Amino acid sequence: MSEDSSTDNGGGLWRGLRNFLFHEEKEPTLREVIEKAIEEHEHDAPDRDDLSPIERRMLRRLLHFGRRSAGDVGTPRADIVAVPDDINGQDLIAAFANSGLSRLPVYKETLDDIIGMLHVKDIFSLMAEGQRDNFDLKSLLRQPRYVPETMGVLDLLAEMRATRTHMAIVLDEYSGTEGLITIEDLVEEIIGDIEDEHDEAPTALLTSRPDGIWEAEGRTELEDIAEWIDPHLSEVEEDVDTIGGLATVLAGHVPQRGEILEHPSGWRIEILAGDSRHVERVRLYPPKKNPDED
């Protein structure tokens, strides 16, 4: 063993003993080092031409991507568009047309009993052959993946790629349907929302008023809140990414319309719309100024 190697090992041993005896903080992880480097880059050299703002945002999303589970992403149960297994051809065509989706889950009696999914191109093939009503729906069913809500998104992405499956049904601890995830959902977790020509024009996620008050959709990313409104609003220990999630953390439950929450920074968050599962829209009131500040 070389002298350098011995020194390195001895140093590592001493660091371990020192951390154990004096409760010193452990060395930062690679993820923390990269995040700190990105943050320092923004403050110390924002005009450098090596990383664009979009690249920095994607890197941040990627660093946190592996921490998320299947229950954190995709479409929640309340928003799933699905069809019953006894649907007729005309209604099925209308369901595809109205939803704008290329794949629809099929259930037997309730959403807790999803038996497969239909792809719109299979329906188009039958229509081209002149079959609009008289066809065997069950013969067209494709099997999605059925995954627990605790499954990591990295494992899920790898499994869906390996099995060439584009849809996964997320199950809760009682094997009931918790949500639905597509490959597109997983990709959007890294690069942001993907809009195509069939998507409706999105409403503004953030709107400001002359009096300093802001309104935001519940799904607005905290990164955008920090960039456009106040960085302090994104400072939260819990693993949440949206202003709606932040409101839920502050309230200790899913807040309802009319509730006003106090943020440690002084900002107040009023719930404008939502339901029993998530916050849909909020209003942000800036901290009150001290008279001496003026």
**Is the domain of 187 the same as that of 75?**
yes
**Buried b / exposed e along 128-151 (16+ C-beta atoms within 10 A):** eeeeeeebebeebbeebbebeeeb
Same domain, 246 and 214: yes
Residue with tokens 């899920």: 156
Q: Is residue 120 domain-shared with residue 177, that is, in the same domain?
A: yes
Residue 46, judged by CB atoms within 10 A of its CB (0-12, 13-18, 19+), counts as exposed
Q: Comparing 272 with 74, which gets the higher pLDDT?
A: 272
Among 191, 223, 257, identify where a domain stops: 191
Residue 159 is predicted with a pLDDT of: 92
131 assigned to some structural domain? yes
- Whether 92 and 177 map to the same domain: the answer is yes
Beta carbons within 8 Å of 242's beta carbon, 6+ residues apart: 218, 219, 220, 221, 222
216/185 same-domain check: no
Residue 206: band (very low, low, confident or very high) from pLDDT cuts 50, 70, 90:
confident
CA dihedral 138, 139, 142, 148 (to 10 degrees): 40
DSSP tag of 24: P
pLDDT for the residue numbered 18: 57
Contact 283, 247 (CB under 8 A): no
Residues paired with 83 in a beta bridge: 106
CATH of the domain at 164: 3.10.580.10
Residues 220 and 185 reside in one and the same domain: no
Name the least confident of 139-143, 211-215, 237-241: 237-241
Clarify whether residues 213 and 233 are in a common domain: yes
pLDDT of residue 59: 81
Domain endpoint, select from 32, 65, 98: 65
From 65, 98, 116, give the residue that closes a domain: 65
Residue 196 lies in a domain: no
Determine the Cα–Cα distance for residues 212 and 72; give it in Å rounded to an integer.
32
pLDDT tens per residue, range 160-203: 999 999 999 999 988 899 999 999 888 888 777 665 545 444 45
With respect to residue 221, please indicate whether it lies within any of the assigned structural domains.
yes
Asked whether residue 264 carries a pLDDT value surpassing 70, the answer given is yes
Residue 41 lies in a domain: yes
Q: How confident is the model at residue 5 (pLDDT cuts 50, 70, 90)?
A: very low
Residues 154, 47, single domain; the answer is: no
Domain count, the chain: 3
Lowest mean pLDDT among 20-34, 137-151, 224-238, 280-294: 20-34
The answer on 135 and 212 residing in a single domain is no
SS3 state of residue 114: strand
Which tens digits make up the pLDDT trace of 52-80?
Answer: 777 777 787 787 777 888 888 888 888 89
Note the pLDDT of residue 43: 62
CB neighbours of 43 closer than 8 A, spacing ≥ 6?
Answer: none
Same domain, 143 and 251: no
Range of 54's domain? Answer: 3-65
Helix or strand run (H / E) with residue 4: helix 3-22
Q: Would residue 278 count as lying in a domain?
A: yes
CATH code of residue 276? 3.30.465.10
How far apart, in whole angstroms, are the C-alpha atoms of residue 23 and residue 289? 41
Task: Give the C-alpha separation, 183 to 102, whole Å.
Answer: 13
- Tell whether 92 and 170 lie within a shared domain: yes
Give a yes or no: residue 118 inside a domain: yes
Q: Is residue 87 part of a domain?
A: yes
Inside any domain, residue 200: no
* Same domain, residue pair 78 and 185: yes
Query: Could you please report the per-residue DSSP string of 126-162?
Result: HHHTT-SSSS-GGGG-B--EEEETTSBHHHHHHHHHH
Report residue 123's pLDDT band, with 50, 70 and 90 as the boundaries: confident
What CA–CA distances, in Å, run from 195 to 21, 35, 72, 95, 199? 54, 28, 21, 20, 6
User: What pLDDT digit, counting tens, does each position of 92-116 carry?
Assistant: 888 998 888 889 999 998 999 999 9
